Amino acid sequence: MSAELAYAGAAELARRVRAREVSAVELTDAFLARIDAHDGALGAYLAVDHEGARNRALIVDAMIAAGQDPGPLAGVPVGVKDVIVTEGLVTTAASRILDGWVPPYDATAVARLRAAGAIVLGKLNCDEFAMGSSNERSGYRPCQNPWDLGRVPGGSSGGSAAAVAAGLAAATLGTDTGGSIRQPAAFCGVVGLKPTYGRVSRWGAIAFASSLDQIGPLAGSVEDCALLLEVIAGADPRDATSIDQPAPSLRPALTAGVAGLKVGLPREYFEGALDPEVAAAVRAAGDALVTAGAELREVTLPHTRFALPAYYVVAPAEAASNLARYDGVRFGHRGGGRELAEMYATTRAEGFGPEVKRRIMIGTYALRAGHYEAYYRKAQQVRALIKRDFDQAFEEVDVLLTPTTPTAAFARGEKAAPLDMYLADVFTLACNLAGIPGLAVPVGATASGLPIGAQLLGRALDEVTLVRAGAELERAFGTRRPPAYEGAA
């Protein structure tokens, strides 16, 4: 498969399939062959569904031959993060404790992708139970950054970002609890959209921190992220936290421009240990928006400095509760007799990885008698203050422009200390605590060629403005592809 086709994007590939310029089967086979040829070194996929993907593609082609419309994602090959359940396809949350578990149903977001004509190629690597910022904490194998195999792709949705960057999927689904879509998108030079909390059903997403988790798309362009969000968004009676709002119409905003848009630069996001190259790239992004007609203003979010400690009380506390069900009995390998007994013993022995254990212990400590008021309740009070900061800022501006990450992608093993790793998400955590949408868009590169991403933050349910501003940045800075994968067959 040519690199041009691998990077054509979801919207364009769907157009070509509907126009019968390429069949869904041909497209699916080409992407599967590309995965087989190139994912060995990358590690983006944990499972590839050759048979299931091809069978779905046959259905799409049959619909088109019969004059039926398969949907807005007709024949588009996509990947799904391994914390989102898929009917008949193994789902492990990248954890040995779920080894071999095959869900009997699709997550709502996956079901909506399939109904729109998308072809699920397989399950994408991630940090175990979505707990990590580098994809080094997978229970199976680490994922690498397509720009430099010695660097991390970010996390926890590292496989989702790497697969798009390497042309191993036209688009992917990830989850974002504290930046796990936006941070890897920035590290891998792709676009990542974390929707408003409740905009997309969480039914079928293996829970990490239920009040923070959100499913969202990663893709090679703002247009493709907008298209996927239009497909997967909307109320779901099976998810009590989903918002009773129709799916947004986002693609008209792609050409709306930013004339008259008020863009805020939060002072606190440009202080501290921010790499100068990242700071310069984000400020250049601000200048590009001004050139296109936007107005730039400095704003303040004074409680930003408390986002990291608040998050690392709230998220582990919710994780300790959510992960209590994984005891090696109710999920995982299906067998019987001696085989089941042996597998049970092995699963319990391997159990959770060290990062998952660490967060469970932190959360259990925070929730124990005598600690709840001092830690968890206090963190929730800080969370309310962070949300109030955003509400006040959005009285002055329409959208916020910030760095996504303090640095470009770091080397494998560089942040072995937990706190060093947690600081990689320092600019993304507040968005989840406040429940607002965020969009990561590539805006340049370091002197060594590593991608740099800017982050746009918007009012709740105002993904339209993020798409407006993101599309303008995309026009200003264009797109780049990893050299190692640009000409790959």
Active site residues: 81, 156, 180
Element (H, E) at 386: helix 378-393
CB–CB of 437/145 below 8 Å? no
CB–CB of 273/422 below 8 Å? no
Residues 6+ apart with CB under 8 A from 177: 130, 156, 208, 209, 212, 213, 214, 315, 432
Give which of 223, 225, 290 is closest to 252, Cα–Cα.
223
The 8-class DSSP code of residue 264 comes to: E
- From residue 475, alpha-carbon distances to 11, 259, 338 in Å are 17, 14, 60
CB–CB of 437/463 below 8 Å? yes
Question: How far apart (Å, rounded) are the C-alpha atoms in residues 111 and 201?
Answer: 11
**Could you write out the DSSP letters of every residue in 131-195?**
--SSS---SS----BTTBTTB---SSSHHHHHHHHTTS-SEEEEE-SSSTTHHHHHHHT-EEEEP
Peptide bond into 211 cis (omega under 30): no
Cα-trace Rg, the chain: 21
| Class of residue 15 by CB neighbours under 10 A (exposed 0-12, middle 13-18, buried 19+) | middle
Residue 51: how many CB atoms within 10 A of its CB?
8
For β-strands 77-81 and 171-175, DSSP reports them as parallel
Q: Phi and psi of 220, rounded to 5°?
A: -85, -10
DSSP-H helix ranges across 200-275: 222-232
The three-point CA angle 384-390-395 to 5° equals 130
